[in-house]
Amino acid sequence: MRLLHVVAPEEAGLTLQQLLRGPMGLSGRQCRIAKAQGAVTVNAAPFFSNQPLAPGMRVCVELPDYDAQRMQGAQPDAPLEVVFEDDALLAVFKPALLQCHPSPSAPRGSDTLEGRVQAYLGRPAHPVHRLDSETTGLVLLSKLPYAQAHLQRQMQAGAFAKIYEAWVWGAPSPASGVVDAPIAREHPDSFTRVVSPDGQRAVSRYKTLSTLTRADGQTASHMRLSPVTGRTHQLRVHMAHIGCPLLGDARYAAPDARARSEALGLCDHQLSAVSLSFVHPLTGEAVTLTHPAVFAFDPAAHGFSP
């Protein structure tokens, strides 16, 4: 895989080593391998690592393809919906109740999204982010460690945007807004999260797309949700915090909301990742990927109407 980088005016004076480890985001190991193989050039010629660079110089790095061995857990006959693919990235749709990667509840060899991707590519891939088992939607993976690191830096800088859709109980007031409420573990060893003044800052944006009711007075709202920060279970915790838990959420909904979900036959929370926006790690171009929301909840079938 060839990485090309044109030195920007603000990068003038950086040494080649500083550019490789900084703006280009290569690891120390990648730099050592590339330089040992003579795979780093500047303006198509060799260049010393401690030499300063000038604006407009073209830095080229030939990265070796990473290990193409198949790994345990690959499911050659399992379906995989590919939304986007190029030399560096792969975006796929994850259905509900499929885990992203092996875990204690899905040990190595189980059917996972990671295994399906490895079977499709014939080699490993690097997840840029993950979704909970019950959540449906877009998952982005990198074919190169360099690209994965580049995208995760974008996430840390707030330049990687995610949009979700969800069905929640009730109707938020106001209909659109921001939830800024810190999140912490319920207990030191607990996987459950809670809003707590001792937690990490967590910010989510929400917008009500529609609100439906049915004859017995139950209300459900179709929401667009966008996490500004990236805390575990953030959207689920924040929607429950404002009194509108996700339909089917057995962990964060109050007992009455859980009972209503169970009466509708909803066994998993209704949350779907519908959009990812980021800067392509190789081309520098802005990319937005979308997929329609997929829910088990069918409002009309359950008697909900505008």
* Least confident among 106-115, 183-192, 244-253: 106-115
Classify residue 288: in a domain, yes or no: no
- Confidence label for 77 from pLDDT (cuts 50, 70 and 90): low
Classify residue 259: in a domain, yes or no: yes
Burial (CB < 10 A; 0-12, 13-18, 19+), residue 60, is: middle
| Domain-terminating residue out of 101, 127, 157 | 157
Tell whether 178 and 117 lie within a shared domain: no
Active site residue 111: no
Classify residue 238: in a domain, yes or no: yes
Question: What's the mean pLDDT in 147-164?
Answer: 90
Helix H or strand E encompassing 255: helix 255-263
Residue-level pLDDT at 56: 92
pLDDT higher than threshold 80 for residue 73: no
Q: 245: domain range? A: 161-274+296-302
Cβ neighbour number for residue 63 with a 10 Å cutoff: 18
User: How do residues 172-194 score in pLDDT, each as one tens digit?
Assistant: 999 999 999 999 999 888 889 99
| Domain-terminating residue out of 106, 138, 157 | 157
Whether residue 139 contacts residue 131, with contact meaning beta carbons closer than 8 Å, is answered with: yes
Residue 109 CA to chain centroid, in angstroms? 23
* pTM of the complete model beyond 0.85: no
CATH code for the domain of 254: 3.30.2350.10
Tell whether 270 and 166 lie within a shared domain: yes
* Residues in contact with 133: Cβ distance below 8 Å, sequence separation at least 6, in sequence order: 96, 97, 98, 99, 100, 268
Which of 65, 67, 87, 132 is catalytic? The answer is: 132
Classify residue 49: in a domain, yes or no: yes
- Confidence label for 68 from pLDDT (cuts 50, 70 and 90): very low
Q: What SS3 string covers 55-80?
A: CCCEEEEECCCCCCCCCCCCCCCCCC
* Residues in contact with 173: Cβ distance below 8 Å, sequence separation at least 6, in sequence order: none
Q: How far is Cα 276 from Cα 134, in angstroms, rounded to an integer?
A: 19
Torsion of CA 239, 113, 150, 145, to 10 degrees: 150
Residue 4 φ then ψ, to 5°: -115, 135
Tell whether 169 and 225 lie within a shared domain: yes
Question: What's the mean pLDDT in 102-116?
Answer: 70
pLDDT higher than threshold 80 for residue 157: yes
| Domain-terminating residue out of 157, 192, 225 | 157
CA distances from 288 to 100, 164, 269 (A): 21, 14, 25
